[in-house]
Amino acid sequence: MDMETRDAPPQPARRNFLKKASAVLIGAVTGLVPAISGLIVFLDPLRRKSQDNDAVLVASLSSLPEDGVPRKFSVVADHTDAWNRMPRVPVGAVYLRRLGDKQVQAFNVICPHAGCFVDYVPARKSYHCPCHNSSFAADGRIADPKSPSPRGLDELPIEIRNENEIWVRFQNFRAGVKEKIPA
C-alpha cells in the first residue's frame, strides 16, 4: 500500500453506511422505551394480583369467645381483577376459633366439595354443609366419613398484631379436589 492510499479520506459509501447504521441503532433504542413501558403496564395487574392475599384485619381477639366456639366474620379487602382495583369490598368470610390466649384458628367458610357455605352448628359442635351434607369437626377435619367433601375445611394462616388484632391471609382454594390448591 503506498502513502497516498493510507492517508486517503473515508469513501462516501462507507460514510453512508455508518450514518445508516447509527440511524437504525437510535431508532431501535427509541422504539424499545415505549415497548418496555407497555410491557410494564401489561404486567401490572399480575403484579397487583400477587399482593391480593396480603393479610387483612378481620376481627379482634376480644370478640372471640374463650371457650373455642367459632364465630363467622366477613373479610373485607382491596380486590383486584384482571384490570381493576376495588378498595374495601367483601371478598369472602371466615370462621375464627380461639384456641388459647393468643392462639386462633381460621377456616374459609367455603365447603371444599362444591363451594357452598358451611354453617357452624353449636349443638353438634361441628360445621355442616347444607348442599350435600358434608360435616366437619371444630378443628376442620372431615367428621362424617360419608361426607362427599374430598378434604377438610381450608385453614388460613393468621397473625396476631398489636396484642388484639387478628389478621388473616385470606385465600380461596379449588373445590372438588383432595389437594389444597389456591384458586
Contact between 131 and ligand FES per CB under 6 A: yes
Q: Where are the beta strands (DSSP E) in 99-152?
A: 104-108, 119-121, 126-128, 135-137
Count of residues engaged in binding ligand FES, rule: CB under 6 A: 11
> Which member of 59, 64, 106, 113 binds ligand FES (CB under 6 A)?
113
Closest separation between CB of residue 113 and ligand FES, Å?
3
What span, in angstroms and rounded, lies between the C-alpha atoms of 48 and 152?
Answer: 30
**Lookup: cell for 179:** 389437594
| Dihedral pair phi/psi, residue 47, rounded to 5° | -65, -40
Residue 93 touches ligand FES, criterion: CB under 6 A: no
What are the C-alpha distances in Å from 146 to residues 5, 141, 149?
97, 13, 9
Decide if residue 114 touches ligand FES (CB under 6 A): yes
Letters for 143-162 (x = contact with ligand FES by CB under 6 A, - = none) are: -----xx-------------
Interface residues with ligand FES (CB under 6 A) are 111, 113-116, 129, 131-132, 134, 148-149
